Structure 1
Amino acid sequence: MTGSAPHGGRRRRSSAPHRAGLSSRDSLAGGEPSAASDADQHEAARAIVLRQLAASAKSRRQLEEKLAARDIPAGVAHEVLDRFEEVNLVDDRAFAAMFVRSRAETRRLSRSALRRELSQRGITGDLAEEALAQRSDEDEARDAHELVRKKLPAQVDPGDRKEYEKLTRRLVSMLGRKGYPPGTAFAVVKAELSAPGSVTDTDGAAADTMGAEVWDTP
């Protein structure tokens, strides 16, 4: 009979990964499946979460946002993420501790900046403070001094007040972007500019005379 599909011919599969030509495993290496039926939605959500975690560690909030962006219903996302938490593949406490260590090491951020970045990822309250407790005042002071030393030019003429003040503004602003408060930033910059063997051995008078408005200078 012409026009009819042969018996035993290929049938359309209903699962989202298969409709896209992907198995759950394939979806981790390629695109992400879209959701259809309830079973497909759960399978698609699991594949999305696995792919995201394979790329980098993420908080539950970040994964919720990824799932929402893929139109996974909130109820499905909640159930899938609960299961991932049960098997410790999603662990906000471990994520927060790792995040603080990594960002402090690679970017020398202050606890204030780290607290803000944790909050953006859904880590707040006691969980955030527990992770931030890894960092001490001494750690922050050491990192602030190191940041300034790395940015110091080879030499600055202490008699060139304009250049000296420009350098001070730049260094203080740099520390500000890392989350260090103005008082700490000015103290660290003054100490580094006044240190024996630094770019200048002056007493840091130029830094002393600079007003708080320097903090807002780009």
Structure 2
Amino acid sequence: MRDEEPPDDDGWTEDADPESVARKILLDQLSIKARSRRELEDRLARRRVPPEVAARLLDRFEEVGLVDDEAFARAWVEGRQRSRGLARTALAVELRRKGVADETAKAVLAEVDPGEEEAAARGLVRKKLRSMRGLDEQVAARRLVGMLARKGYSPGLAYAVVRSELGAEAQCTMGE
């Protein structure tokens, strides 16, 4: 079973109370992992929960802190930076897809330390360089910059980090 999908038993029966069913769906979803309000709205809509019931329950879940887009965005950014090495640009796109408001995403992404972002880029380049030992320097540079671009790093930062790391790599191989 995928971690995204709870069991299909969503509680709908002929005489089921839509609010009880919606509450069960929300709690099931939130027990799997944190989700944005829009993700939960979409899930409830797919399960045929009336929109007014969904809105009322989601508002209540926000009041008690079970649904918090800012906390969700912070956790998402931290996790994706750690696991995938993504830069702010890529993270902004992912947060938008998750339904996080642009203002919330901007506020959370403003907390990302540029120094940490550069360090993450360097780590990605160093890791990838280990598998590129025999390649021409221009080919390696092009591939490394492309990798960083796909992860959302700006061209300026990508080129600077790659040039620096390729220079350090050249110094290491000349010293051997």
- TM-score class, shorter: 0.7 to 0.9
Structure 1 runs of 4+ aligned residues shifted over 4 Å read 196-201
Once the two structures are superposed, what CA deviation does each residue of 1:109-157 show, in whole Å capped at 9, x if it has no partner? 1111111111111212331122112212211111111110011126735
May I ask how many residue pairs the two structures share in their alignment?
Answer: 169
TM-score w.r.t. structure 1 length? 0.70
Shift of 1:81: 0.7
TM-score w.r.t. structure 2 length? 0.85
Note if 1:59 corresponds to 2:32. no
Note if 1:120 corresponds to 2:97. yes
Shift of 1:58: 0.3
2:90 and 2:132 map into 1 onto residues whose CA distance is 31
Question: What are the residue-to-residue correspondences of 1:1-218 with 2, within 5 Å?
Answer: 31-34=9-12, 40-153=17-130, 156=133, 163-195=136-168
- Matched-pair contact (CA < 8 Å) for 1:111–1:132: yes
Partner SS, residue 66 of structure 2: coil
Alpha carbons of 1:143 and 1:40: their partners in 2 closer, same or farther (altered >3 Å)?
Answer: same
- Matched-pair contact (CA < 8 Å) for 2:132–2:140: no
2:152 and 2:65 map into 1 onto residues whose CA distance is 32
Cα-Cα RMSD: 2.3
Pair member with larger Rg: 1
Alpha carbons of 1:148 and 1:155: their partners in 2 closer, same or farther (altered >3 Å)?
Answer: closer
- For 1:139, the aligned partner's letter is E
Partner SS, residue 9 of structure 2: coil
Q: Indicate the structure with greater helix content.
A: 2
- Matched-pair contact (CA < 8 Å) for 2:88–2:109: yes
- For 1:62, the aligned partner's letter is E
Instruction: In structure 2, list runs of 5 or more residues that go unmatched.
Output: 1-5
Instruction: In structure 1, list runs of 5 or more residues that go unmatched.
Output: 1-27, 202-218
Partner SS, residue 43 of structure 1: helix
Seq. identity, %: 44
- For 1:177, the aligned partner's letter is R
